């Protein structure tokens, strides 16, 4: 049974960099779309981006090039960095595994439990 776990600081100052790691256990990191999503408190879900084990990435245009997702196959981990954060980046951040053979037709399963990141001075 694959399990995903997010880790990282829960508080980030405005204009600084948000940095999170997702650790994958119980399964291989090969052949999937490793994805980050977020959910502002009380609001809906937003896709941030993914990295495939081939190294290809795709990001939400709403991040305006502030985001970077990296994959660390030796450690079965992938990470998210978001630069120049503002209060609008306050959200529960989820990592998830994208299953299915196509970059545009796959599904997110499973999800990590999520980590609340607050942007505040």
Binding status of residue 16 toward another protein by CB under 8 A: no
Number of residues that bind another protein (CB under 8 A): 21
Binding status of residue 111 toward another protein by CB under 8 A: yes
Instruction: Indicate the residue among 61 and 74 with the shorter CB distance to another protein.
Output: 61
Binding status of residue 34 toward another protein by CB under 8 A: no
DSSP assignment string, the chain: --EEEEES-SEE-TTS-EEEEEEEESS--TTSEEEEEEE-TTS--EEEEEEETTS-EEE-GGGTT-EEEEEEGGGTEEEEEE-S--GGG-EEEEEEEEEEEETTEEEEEEE---EEEEE--
Backbone angles phi, psi at 96, to 5 degrees: -150, 155
Nearest approach in angstroms of CB 107 to another protein is: 4
- Mark the segment that binds another protein (CB under 8 A) among 14-22, 23-31, 46-54, 83-91: 46-54
Nearest approach in angstroms of CB 73 to another protein is: 23
Q: Which parts of this chain interact with another protein (CB under 8 A)? A: 44-47, 49, 58-61, 94, 100, 104-105, 107-114
């Amino acid at each position: 049974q694959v399990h995903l776990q997010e880790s990282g600081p829960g508080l980030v100052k405005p204009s600084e960099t948000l940095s999170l790691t997702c650790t994958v256990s119980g399964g291989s990191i090969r052949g999937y779309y490793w994805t980050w999503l977020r959910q502002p408190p009380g609001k809906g879900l937003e896709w941030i981006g993914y990295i495939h084990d081939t190294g290809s990435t795709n990001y939400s245009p709403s991040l305006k090039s502030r985001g970077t997702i990296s994959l660390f196959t030796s450690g079965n981990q992938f990470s998210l960095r978001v630069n120049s954060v503002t209060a609008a980046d306050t959200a529960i951040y989820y990592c998830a595994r994208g299953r299915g053979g196509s970059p545009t037709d796959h599904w997110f399963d499973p999800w990590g439990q999520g980590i609340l990141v607050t942007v505040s001075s």
